Structure 1
Amino acid sequence: MAASPEVRELFFDADAWAALRRLGEVRLPDAGDDVGDETVLAGLLADADVVVTGWGCAPLTSAVLAAAPRLRLLAHTGASVKPFVTADSFARGVRVTQAGEAMAYAVGEQALALTLALLHGLHRFDHALRTGVDWATAKAAPPRRELRGATVGVVGASRTGRCYLGLVRALGARVLVADPYLSDAEAATLGVERADLADLLGRSLVVSLHAPVLPETVGMIGARELALLPDGALLVNTARSALVDEAALLAALRTGRIDAALDVFDAEPLPVDHPLRRLPNVLLTPHEAAGTVGSRRRAADIVVAEVDRFLRGLPLRHEVRPADLDRTG
């Protein structure tokens, strides 16, 4: 188990631990050992068949793999496996699985919560009252809107994107989706309209980002794209900060023309003096969209089930193959 005590406690309750231990010997790092250190990881995996990873684990470099000749499966408690897998690990035949599906609903639900908060101006009211302005000034927020009947643009028909669009559609929103991999048939099944990014930005009251970080998506929302948003538009980002040019977003927010809710940032932890913290038209959360109790427990259950399937020679349900990395963040 290449995860810190904090990560293990967050994900694995007593039942999940018992289920994992029934599958074989579970080896933990020694107290104080940092699994982000390749030497520590190599020692932990010396005769391991499976490694369960968490945040901060070192990648499977050639040196780590050389010290772990029996290793055949990496099972990650989170979604993105890019920090851990390498070309060497795939070449060596180490299979990879992950628990991203467990987090999709939690992220989708928080994106909905952020959407509703922005629409109803809760962030502006809270900021005004906490900073001591008078009652009448606090009440003088920009016009507030309802989700019912609003046009919502979803960038990325990922697992989280699909959970989010299902939730906002249930509350009466019209949904546009920009995703090059979404077919017309899938869009019809989801009850959404396909659109290119520029069209989506120009027509949406709310834009929620759910795309992976790929070469073609880094900085996909820059000054030009932000300028396409209508006055009073709302941007929600629970995906990755790399999707947005943060300097361009900050400049747009300073004009007061748009509002935003952000769970991800270029610098994490977000510096205490960061200008985003002082803007009344920004709602901030500390990269915790997926951090519900239910989400983490589901992730542990997925990991245990995948390890069990692997050991019994059954197909993995959440396997990540080399080609999949080109489409995942």
Structure 2
Amino acid sequence: MRTLLAMPEGLQDRMFSPAQRERLAEITGIDVSRTVPDLAAAPGEELAEVEVLVTGWGSPAVDAVALARMPRLRAIVHTAGTVRFVVTDAVWDRGDIVVTSATEANAVPVAEYALAQILLAGKRTLAQQARYRRERTVGPATAADPGIGNHGGVVGLIGASRIGTLVAEHLRRFDLEVLVTDPFASAEQVAELGARKVDPEELYARSDVVSLHAPDVPSTKGMVTRELLGLMRDGTTFLNTARPALVDIDALRDEVLSGRLSAVLDVHDDLADDDPLWEAELAQLTPHLAGSQGNELHRMGEAALEELRRLSAGEPPRFPVDGSRRDSMA
């Protein structure tokens, strides 16, 4: 199975542990210390024999020019989540190339992060921490506030995506009511997650924590509007581990700076260096920590190894990417 690591130099050492790299070599028979960061610069005779590409973050796009040089290509195994920036329409149009992704593996740490932040938000951690820093006293009112706590609280999940589904499954262990809004999920599907499907207005109005898990596609741009954020009750929290483009950041900033809402933002790529949210007491900004980090990358590497094993054995892939959904995939 002629395989090529089409990825930036050194990425394979991050995605695969030493033991996993040994298995990668055993399955594919390749030199795992070598990658090809630029398909255009690869020797034509090498590309002509390639059957499988292993790709990841920063990999070159597999476009029509590259495909013409790889007539035997039958699979692209992506070690990261979205394949949007690697797999072009030319791949889908050819019709005979299997594409797999480690999206399912990458969803695991995001859901874990979201769960942790949801439970902390139930305690109104940001607001309580800010008050505690100012007053340096526990204060008798904290324990008596019925709005604080995770017993009988309401969590709203925007999107029954892979991550949204995992979060809902995690939340079943707690004494929380879970609401979900997603135009593509039926009420029955949501009920199987232990949640209830509602319209967006009810979700924002009733939830103590609203957690965003929708894909970044044209139809979702700016879906978290000023009007919807305005429905959230005073003291509640908005959590974004999805993409910044989905949120009206001006509206969210106004709500946070007014002291009405708290926000936990793991994605905020477009914030200016002097944006007030950086210093806001009720905003927690983290640098894309929710997605796979450090040793969590090896989970995605393991997913890719399983796909390579299946390809080698002539078995169907475990997590194929459906090219017919390319316009709606994250």
Q: TM-score, normalised by structure 2?
A: 0.87
Task: Give the distance between the partners of 1:133 and 1:6, measured in 2 at CA.
Answer: 46
> SS of the residue aligned with 1:221?
coil
Task: Give the distance between the partners of 2:88 and 2:106, measured in 1 at CA.
Answer: 24
Residue 25 of structure 1, aligned match among 25, 29, 43: 29
Residue 71 of structure 2, aligned match among 69, 76, 79: 69
Q: Residue 107 of structure 1 aligns to which amino acid in structure 2?
A: V
Task: Give the distance between the partners of 1:205 and 1:122, measured in 2 at CA.
Answer: 13
> SS of the residue aligned with 1:170?
coil
Task: Give the distance between the partners of 1:232 and 1:18, measured in 2 at CA.
Answer: 51
Measured after TM superposition, the shift of residue 121 of structure 1 is 3.6
Q: Is the 8 A contact 2:156 2:204 kept in 1?
A: yes
Match status 1:101 vs 2:104:
yes
Structure 1 counterpart of 2:317: 316
Measured after TM superposition, the shift of residue 184 of structure 1 is 2.6
Match status 1:51 vs 2:25:
no
Structure 2 counterpart of 1:246: 249
Task: Give the distance between the partners of 2:14 and 2:142, measured in 1 at CA.
Answer: 39
CA 316–120 in structure 1, closer or farther in 2 if over 3 Å, else same:
same
**Aligned counterparts, 1:1-329, within 5 A:** 1-26=5-30, 35=37, 37=38, 39-40=40-41, 45=47, 47-92=49-94, 93-124=96-127, 133=134, 135=136, 145-267=148-270, 272-292=273-293, 295-329=296-330
Task: Give the distance between the partners of 1:145 and 1:128, measured in 2 at CA.
Answer: 14
Task: Give the distance between the partners of 1:118 and 1:56, measured in 2 at CA.
Answer: 34
Q: Residue 57 of structure 2 aligns to which amino acid in structure 1?
A: W
Measured after TM superposition, the shift of residue 188 of structure 1 is 2.4
Cα deviations by residue, 1:221-277 (Å, 9 ceiling, x for unpaired): 02122112122221111112222122222222222211111111233xx65433321
Task: Give the distance between the partners of 1:104 and 1:214, measured in 2 at CA.
Answer: 18
> SS of the residue aligned with 2:178?
strand
CA 52–274 in structure 1, closer or farther in 2 if over 3 Å, else same:
farther
Q: Is the 8 A contact 1:2 1:52 kept in 2?
A: yes
Q: Higher mean Cα deviation, 115-124 or 236-245?
A: 115-124
* Identical columns (%): 34
CA 79–139 in structure 1, closer or farther in 2 if over 3 Å, else same:
farther
Task: Give the distance between the partners of 2:289 and 2:11, measured in 1 at CA.
Answer: 14
Cα deviations by residue, 1:145-176 (Å, 9 ceiling, x for unpaired): 11221111111111211111122231111011
Q: Residue 172 of structure 2 aligns to which amino acid in structure 1?
A: R
Measured after TM superposition, the shift of residue 209 of structure 1 is 0.8
Number of positions where the alignment pairs a residue of Structure 1 with one of Structure 2: 322
Task: Give the distance between the partners of 1:138 and 1:273, measured in 2 at CA.
Answer: 34
Q: TM-score, normalised by structure 1?
A: 0.87
Measured after TM superposition, the shift of residue 40 of structure 1 is 4.3
Cα deviations by residue, 1:71-99 (Å, 9 ceiling, x for unpaired): 22111112211111111111223221001
Q: Is the 8 A contact 1:148 1:172 kept in 2?
A: yes
CA 126–53 in structure 1, closer or farther in 2 if over 3 Å, else same:
farther
Q: Is the 8 A contact 2:124 2:236 kept in 1?
A: no
CA 236–70 in structure 1, closer or farther in 2 if over 3 Å, else same:
same
Q: Is the 8 A contact 1:156 1:210 kept in 2?
A: yes
Q: Residue 48 of structure 1 aligns to which amino acid in structure 2?
A: V
Task: Give the distance between the partners of 2:322 and 2:162, measured in 1 at CA.
Answer: 17
Task: Give the distance between the partners of 1:9 and 1:122, measured in 2 at CA.
Answer: 37
Q: Residue 169 of structure 1 aligns to which amino acid in structure 2?
A: R
Q: Is the 8 A contact 2:7 2:60 kept in 1?
A: no
Measured after TM superposition, the shift of residue 210 of structure 1 is 0.9
CA 42–247 in structure 1, closer or farther in 2 if over 3 Å, else same:
farther
Q: Is the 8 A contact 2:217 2:327 kept in 1?
A: yes
> SS of the residue aligned with 2:111?
helix
Measured after TM superposition, the shift of residue 319 of structure 1 is 0.6
